[in-house]
Amino acid sequence: MTTKGEFLASIRAQMRTARDLFSASVAKRPEHPAAEADTIRRELAERWPAILERFRVEFERVGGVFYRVTSLDEVPAVVGRLAREREARGLVAWHAAALGADLAPALEARGLDVHEMPAGETAAAAERERLRAITAGADFGLTGVDLAVAETGTLILVSGAGRPRSTSLLPPCHIAVFDRTALVESLRQVGVLLEAWHRDGAPPATGAVINFITGPSRTADIELTLTRGVHGPKEVHAIFVEQGIRG
Amino acid sequence: MSDGELAIPFRQRAGSALKDAFLQEALTIATTKFIDLRREAFEDFPEGEALRDRARAIKEATLQRLDHYLETLIANIERLGGHVHYAKTSEEARAIVVDIARRTGARMAVKSKSMATEEIHLNEALEHAGITPVETDLGEYIIQLAHERPSHIIAPAIHKTKGQVADLFGREFKRRVEADPEVLTKIARDELREKFLQADLGITGANFAVADTGTVVLVTNEGNGRMVTSLPRVHVALMGVEKVVPSLTDLMVFLAILAKSATGQKLSVYTTLVRGPRRAEELEGPDEFHLVLLDNGRIAQLGGPLREALSCLRCGACLNVCPVYQQIGGHAYGYTYPGPIGILLTAMLEGTRSVRDLAHASSLCGACADACPVRIDIPRMLIALRREVDEKKIAPWVERVAFTLLARLLTRPALYRLAVSAGRVLQRPFVREGTISRLPFFLNDWTRTRDLPAVAARTFQERWAAEQGRTP
Ligand code: SF4
């Protein structure tokens, strides 16, 4: 087998004979990403209604369903209606701390069968297996959102304690709750925020995965016919809470 | 397609593709649709042109310091608890993956769509070692059941009708299946869901890897990339060395143009950024994470004539716009990577000899270079490749002799004029309405697929000279 040393040496040997095609540079990274991220947020705080509107248009364009509610208290009603329409009641949810609110009692009052994911203490393999089976059998997955990108209608979710990756993946219907603090305008801004999370060490969570979700799972692999819900959810609903989630 | 079919010459493969009526229609519909979607996506995106230049510059700058970025990537992945492996050849790459599978006691491997694993023929190696590989991208799943190869980089099963897929599923699952994409997709979802939950090993490619953070990036529409990286206990990502990008800021530049070029989406449905194995506080994710860095002919091109092809994002845009691909589809090319870029990649991975026919399977119209998000000058490299094929004397001898003679002729005016007069006489039996569409003997190779204009009664030079009132 080739070793790391041999492998890199073969690259260096080739690089010595290579002529550069043109003089080129990589993208300029933000020098102080945290400070730039603050500037972006301040600027967005003033223009958020327009950005939210752009998000709605793009999110609906990719097949998402958008809701706007005044306060968190209205979220269970939206979820309850979805459950009644689909005659389904199994719901897995991020842990209340990750979601920013404890919605379980209100959801249960509306007939949903709620499984809240654990806060994040290390779970034994058997317990993880059990939770995975519950998630795979659930009808709805309820999550928060770390960034909502207006340019593309994308929801960005960071995995970690109390916020499993599977909640937004295994159930056929994903419901995401977000507020103004998650809104950004462009992929470029996402770049700044990702750099800030990475370099200034303050990501929303410390899991191994960041997922960009742009609408429901889809394929066009059979005769280019657009079909939703291949492996991921067939439906994605985003609920915007005007007054903010954490009050 | 099995490798056995490579024994059939390219001309014959292309010939049968041209006679396949369904394939012809499917290709027209697919390529036209992809072209339209891509055009609309960029029309809506004024900053797109500048971003394409930016993206290309990032690729080139990365290649200029490739050792540095790879070292950074390796260090970061190891720091996160992942393992990095190095494969010079496809045999080495196969051995590495099979070894990981054996060591971890894996019996079934779920795979998300990856051209790199196709390139090294990983599935055969896994099967041979008693491990069942399951393709989970719907298109890849279909062609795996049909024992075929992908015919398009991003739509691997565009050559199949829904009726054919229904028959295939019917045979596989021993029941009657309706030829409706919705129904077929649901069947695949249910089948594959079981596999995801059972599999021990997840195998992916990588669209990018971010050196600065040790992140492997997967782009999918179906969500299989997320499944494969979340559910099995082991994740192996196989990636060509050229896929590394320096930072997250660079990554965003590519994400902004990749899906638009491929399917006209602003972003694909899922972009998954994976950093190493599951963290202690997480419920799911692999306990082991492996990255296999693949050379397989790439490194030699850092200083070689195909260097530009190392910037390829595998978006498929150049396939859709290529008049040759539009006519013959992916299988006729006979190798893993079809289309104009596929010819260059085949030459890179398999050597120049393997493309002595393929090097000519392009009209050099330049549509590919225009469509390419990173503006790879494919025609330039194809011309160089043709020249190399000629110089290495691996082109057909008739062609070599003919072009050598032509070169002499064109640089000697007196000789040229003589040849013109001779041609006028000699062509008489073959000219029909000003064109020659059949030549005798071996010369027919030229006219079989194209007409040759007849030598004019009076050439331009002769007329020009007459205009000027002088005799030639
Ligand atoms: S050569 Fe360019 S257009 Fe073709 S697949 Fe690669 S990136 Fe896309």
| Mean pLDDT value across chain B | 90
Of the two residues A246 and B286, the one the predictor is more confident about is: B286
pLDDT at residue B393 in the model: 63
Kindly give the pairing relationship between strand B244-245 and strand B431-432: unpaired
Report H helices in chain A.
4-17, 33-61, 75-86, 96-99, 104-109, 125-137, 187-199
Q: Does B341 sit in the ligand 1 pocket, CB within 6 Å?
A: yes
pLDDT at B71 over 50: yes
Give contacts of A3 with chain B, Cβ < 8 Å: 86
Q: Which phi and psi (to 5°) does residue B370 adopt?
A: -65, -40
A217:B222 CB<8 A: yes
pTM: 0.89
pLDDT at B413 over 70: yes
**Average pLDDT, stretch B118-134?**
96
B281:A208 CB<8 A: no
- Mean pLDDT lowest among B84-93, B97-106, B155-164: B155-164
Rounded Cα distance, B395 and B64, in Å: 34
pLDDT at B472 over 70: no
Task: Choose one of B318, B319, B337, B368 to mutate for the ligand 1 pocket test, by most ligand atoms within 8 angstroms of C-beta.
Answer: B318
Place of tokens 């899991």: A207
Of the two residues A177 and B462, the one the predictor is more confident about is: A177
pLDDT at residue B4 in the model: 43
Rounded Cα distance, A173 and A85, in Å: 12
Chain B nearest-CA residue for A199: B213
**Domains, in order of start, for chain A:** 30-241 (3.40.50.10420)
Q: Which of A3, A130, A209 to mutate to test the interface with B (most CBs of B within 10 A)?
A: A209
pLDDT at B8 over 90: no
How many CB atoms within 10 Å of residue B361? Answer: 23
Rounded Cα distance, B348 and B300, in Å: 8
CA atoms within 13 A on the CB side of A165: 30
**Average pLDDT, stretch B32-41?**
95
3-state secondary structure labels for all residues of B340-395 = HHHHHHHHHHHCHHHHCCHHHCCCCCCHHHHHCCCCCCHHHHHHHHHHHHHHCCCC
The residue nearest atom 3 of ligand 1, judged by CA position, is B372
A208:B26 CB<8 A: no
Place of tokens 């519950």: A134
pLDDT at residue B26 in the model: 86
**Domains, in order of start, for chain B:** 1-43+303-395 (1.10.1060), 45-296 (3.40.50.10420), 400-470 (no CATH)
Min distance B115 CA to chain A CA atoms (Å): 16
Helix (H), strand (E) counts: chain A: 7, 12
pLDDT in tens, B432-457: 777 776 766 666 665 655 666 777 77
Q: Which of B29, B51, B283, B307 to mutate to test the interface with A (most CBs of A within 10 A)?
A: B283
Q: Which of A26, A146, A200 to mutate to test the interface with B (most CBs of B within 10 A)?
A: A26
Question: How many Cβ pairs closer than 8 A exist between chain A and B?
Answer: 271
Paired residues of A227 in beta bridges: A219
pLDDT at residue B418 in the model: 78
Distance (angstroms) between ligand 1 centre and the Cα of B91 equals 26
pLDDT in tens, A110-144: 999 999 999 987 778 899 999 999 999 999 999 99
Please check whether residue A28 is in contact with residue B249, taking contact to mean a CB–CB distance below 8 angstroms: yes
Chain B nearest-CA residue for A219: B222
**Average pLDDT, stretch A203-229?**
94
Task: Choose one of B242, B306, B312 to mutate for the ligand 1 pocket test, by most ligand atoms within 8 angstroms of C-beta.
Answer: B312
Q: Which of A195, A206, A215 sits opposite B269 (nearest CB)?
A: A215
pLDDT at residue B444 in the model: 64
Rounded Cα distance, B303 and B297, in Å: 12
B258: its two tokens: 């990749």
Band of pLDDT at residue B409, cut at 50, 70 and 90: confident
pLDDT at B214 over 50: yes
Rounded Cα distance, B27 and B14, in Å: 13
The residue nearest atom 8 of ligand 1, judged by CA position, is B315
Q: What percentage of chain A has pLDDT greater than the value 90?
A: 89
B284:A123 CB<8 A: no
Chain B nearest-CA residue for A18: B303
Rounded to 10 degrees, what is the CA torsion of A50, A54, A60, A62?
-160
Q: Does B376 sit in the ligand 1 pocket, CB within 6 Å?
A: yes
pLDDT at B87 over 60: yes
A214:B157 CB<8 A: no
The SS3 assignment for B221 reads: coil
Find the length of chain A: 247
pLDDT at residue B454 in the model: 76
**Average pLDDT, stretch A138-163?**
98
Give contacts of A223 with chain B, Cβ < 8 Å: 26, 161-162, 181
pLDDT at A102 over 80: yes
Rounded Cα distance, B130 and B121, in Å: 15
Rounded Cα distance, B335 and B329, in Å: 12
Q: How far is CA B263 from the centre of its chain?
A: 15
pLDDT at residue B12 in the model: 85
pLDDT in tens, A174-204: 999 999 999 999 999 999 999 999 998 889 9
Q: Does B386 sit in the ligand 1 pocket, CB within 6 Å?
A: no
